[in-house]
A = this chain, B = another copy of it.
Amino acid sequence: MSGLNGDGSILCVGSVALDSVETPFGRAERVIGGSAVYFTAAASLFHEVKVVGVVGDDYPLRELEFLAERGADLSGIEQRAGESFFWAGRYHFDLNSRDTLETKLGVFAHFEPKIPRSFRAARYVFLGNIDPKLQHDVLDQVEDPDVVACDTMNYWIEGSREPLLELLGRVRILIINDEEVRQLAGEANLLRAARWVQKRGPELVVVKKGEHGAILFGGDWVFFVPGFPLESVFDPTGAGDAFAGGFMGYLARAGSLSPEDLRRAMVYGSAMGSFAVEAFSVRRLIDVPVSDIERRVAQFREITAFETHVGTLAGS
């Protein structure tokens, strides 16, 4: 069940949280969430993941057992006295915008990632959206990983710009929202914003655009995958982290960063993001059958493939 190919595993460091979410379709109270949980729920379908995070003594750890059953190593999730990171939010009618109703950092306020010795040789590292100083701390503890990917957000772009820019020099893949990469680069044009980032370190920039899909900017090439056209988007929370999990999980499983594998990784990532939004929390990722994932990837091909006729306009 683990999907292990004998390749190095993925180290994931991020938030392990409780979310209360309201959407036009319903509400969920104190359900499991956080970047590390969504990432691992997707990535563990592809490859072994080792998770580092912190929770309070109120956290329903048994609800993470499905991850361990898939081969994820949760021994790096520290439990401390106090409350778990809690986020409450409400999505608007069109699901493209939301209000944060409450954020309580709890034990996450004093999170100091400690990477267990057995985790340090991971070939793939995903740094979820946390303080860039902590992202540096993680990289200081790991042995020479092949692929380091990181996420970030406007809060750090505004408030921790220097450590974030320094981090870019240590990262091979930046995975970021469109508005955030524009803000980071001070550049409205996405292509130029990605080139700006690439000059500062990451050879690959993955720009997440929510319902509009995602774009991978390679060295001299670009790959685009649309958002999957779903009839019912239930809860957008965690879609970006599930995308990152499918993307990194596929790459680790393939053991390659070839353009062909990067393209497929983008599609598997988008497939996982599209499943994540079909239910509250990680519910859909718990029991999604492999056949559904493969079918959705095939559907991505159907909705984007076309054949060209050489010389359609020639001679006109």
Contacts and interface: CB of A to CB of B under 8 A. Distances in A.
Interface stretch (A32-40, A110-118, A132-140, A294-302): A294-302
Interface residue tally on A, bucketed by range? 35 or more
Interface string A278-302: 0000000000001001100110011
A3 interface: yes
Contacts of A192: 231
Given A1-B316, A290-B314, A294-B314, A306 B267 contact: yes
A303 B189 contact: no
A225 B213 CA distance: 11
A316 B229 contact: no
Chain copies in complex: 2
A244 interface: no
B267 A188 contact: no
Contacts of A232: 189
Contacts of A233: 189
Contacts of A188: 93-95
Contacts of A250: 312
Interface in A22-36: none
Contacts of A312: 250, 253, 264, 268, 294, 297
Nearest to A307: B260
Interface stretch (A154-162, A165-173, A216-224): A216-224
B313 A45 contact: yes
A267 B311 CA distance: 15
Given A230-B191, A313-B290, A304 B304 contact: yes
18 contacts: A2-B316, A93-B188, A94-B182, A213-B226, A215-B226, A221-B303, A222-B229, A223-B303, A224-B226, A250-B312, A253-B312, A264-B309, A267-B306, A290-B313, A294-B310, A297-B312, A301-B308, A304-B304
